[in-house]
Chains A and B, each alone.
Chain A
Amino acid sequence: MSEVYAPRGWGKVAETAGAWLLALIWIAPLAYAVWTAFHPSEFSTRFELFAPLTLDNFKRAWEAAPFARYFLNTFLLVTGVLACQLVLCTLAAFAFARYEFPGATVVFALVLAQLMIMPDVLIVENYKTMSRLGVLDSIPAIGLPYVASAFGIFLLRQTFKMVPKELDDAARVEGASPMQVLWRVYVPLGRPVYIAYGLVSVSYHWNNFLWPLIVTNSVESRPLTVGLQVFSSTDQGIDWAIICAATLMTSAPLLIGFLLFQRQFVQSFMRAGIK
């Protein structure tokens, strides 16, 4: 930001105060959940500075539901989806960026349609498809509709288009096959975009809820989000401390990752957003 319009004096004080106030409001729900999860339940609604700390809520939540299994499911889902997305989107993006074929614009428009019509909107039909394929209630069923990602194809296509044609030609003159060119020239140059896309994809699928809720119904395939919902809605005599502990556990890996790599995280989101 240029210095000429930077706030000064009282203006700066007011701006800082406003920004801090909003930040406090924004972080309050999370701060509250952390407080509740680490204190005995009688302190859920009573705030005393020296209330005893405890890990008991986490222990009880962990024992009350198969969270280990849910973690494993979510981990398998997120890594599996990302791996398939990276391969498929790279291939498709390369085709769109470097080959001219009849109807390319129409095909690309068909791909972009998914940006508007996400699989979440077509839950009824996609459920029928999964049922016909006989894969209901499995981890692949959660991931399949998202594997061919219009967003990923679009993002990588933009990146690949910026690779200088001379670099491509030089590699081909050296006798490299198209796949070798893709692997040795394009993919390394697209690294920052891959990281950005990876973060977006991981956080999306870690947090996704509606489709996994519909397509799974057993502990063996349920991801964390669905597990958490089952846990907090069947719990009789609501104990907020335990629900907060379970909530934090569910979000912890992403949250810790975000706190550690805050800078890269935010910047990769920025990069992913710039068209």
Chain B
Amino acid sequence: MLGPSLALLILFTHWPAVNTLIDSVYSTPRPRRPSRFVGPANFEQMMADPIFWQAMWNNLWFALGTIPTSIALALLMAVWVNDRIAGRTLVRMAYFTPTVLPMIAVANIWLFFYTPQYGLLAQILGAFGITGPNWLGSNETALFAVTVVAVWKEAGFFMIFYLAALQTISPSLAEAAALEGASRWTYFRRIQFPLLMPTTLFVLVNAVIGAFRTIDHIFVMTRGGPDNATALLLFYIYQVGFSFWDTGYAAALTVVLLALLGLLALIQYGVLERRVHYR
């Protein structure tokens, strides 16, 4: 019963992962020069490659920009749509809708927002007499602009998990807290938030994986530019592997990404799990 699943998992997950390790110490085969063992040469090249370092830093800033923001927004959204406010269903729907749209499609729409001169943002700013920057075309703002799109896309998805968790918290806890005279804020900080920790961990894992895997909008909006300002690690792997066909070097880059994901998994399950309060 396990056979077919295991065979496919080995073929498309474990075997390629091991092969990536092997390929990373071999040179890229060329028509006249077959692949040969080069030891750490690919990694040495990587250490000296300014684009690699830039992609790493970009990805770090992208992660730091998206993860806390989207989780905080998701929590705020969930608390809001959990209360009985007018039009709750519509609001909930508005938050969640970006999740069901293809990233590649929403990137098209956002591309227009960011267009200088006649784009939507430029027009709104223009109404106040401000000349906005060329959001996607300048080094200073491009990474920020693609980060905003990722937050907008993900926050509603994470909201759903918080909403589900909020609804499982027993109302008697709130009543007990109110009897003790706890304020709304104290109730949130001391009771709701700690009880949401397992959800936060789950959302965090998803957000971290997402930050290193979501690059669809880069293809439409910037193609890694300008001047590699929005080249994220996976996008750089794609470029090296499929634009330059340098598979040896791409393997070395992939090893870094795999190591990064593995390390994050260890931190999340090993360290954080122990500090999370489970019911």
Contacts and interface: CB of A to CB of B under 8 A. Distances in A.
Interface in A241-275: 243-244, 247-248, 250-251, 254-255, 258-259, 262, 265-266, 269-271, 273-275
B251 interface: yes
Q: How many residues of B sit at the interface, in one of the four size bands?
A: 35 or more
Contacts of B262: 116
Interface in B138-177: 152, 156-157, 160-161, 163-164, 166-167, 171-175, 177
Given A26-B152, A125-B20, A126-B12, A15 B247 contact: no
Contact of A255 (B101, B118, B258): B101
Interface in A63-84: none
Given A23-B94, A92-B1, A117-B17, A15 B83 contact: yes
B178 A4 contact: yes
Contacts of B98: 26, 29-30
A7 B219 CA distance: 44
Contacts of A96: 2
Interface in A123-148: 123-129, 144-145, 147-148
Contact of B83 (A6, A23, A203): A6
A50 interface: no
Contacts of A173: none
Interface stretch (B42-50, B52-60, B63-71, B104-112): B104-112
B272 interface: no
A54 interface: no
B17 A122 contact: yes
B93 interface: yes
B75 interface: no
A26 B94 contact: yes
Given A26-B156, A114-B13, A45 B118 contact: yes
Interface in A94-117: 94-96, 107, 110-111, 113-114, 116-117
B101 A209 contact: no
Contacts of B83: 1, 6-7, 15
A209 B103 contact: yes
Interface in B63-101: 76-77, 80-87, 89-101
B201 to A, nearest CB: 10
B16 A19 contact: no
A238 B3 CA distance: 50
A150 interface: yes
Contacts of B41: none
Contact of A125 (B16, B90, B220): B16
Interface stretch (A163-171, A183-191, A228-236): A228-236
B164 A274 contact: yes
A89 B2 CA distance: 9
A23 B20 contact: no
Interface in B107-122: 108-110, 112-113, 118, 120
Interface of B: 1-2, 4-9, 11-17, 19-20, 23, 76-77, 80-87, 89-106, 108-110, 112-113, 118, 120, 123, 152, 156-157, 160-161, 163-164, 166-167, 171-175, 177-178, 184, 187, 198, 202, 209, 212-213, 215-216, 219-220, 234, 237-238, 241-242, 247, 250-251, 254, 257-258, 261-262, 265
Rank and list the top 4 A-B pairs by shortest CB-CB distance, nearest first. A125-B16, A2-B171, A2-B174, A148-B8
Interface of A: 1-7, 12, 15-16, 18-20, 22-24, 26-27, 29-30, 32-33, 44-45, 88-89, 91-92, 94-96, 107, 110-111, 113-114, 116-129, 144-145, 147-148, 150, 153, 203, 206-207, 209-210, 213-214, 224-225, 228-229, 232-233, 240, 243-244, 247-248, 250-251, 254-255, 258-259, 262, 265-266, 269-271, 273-275
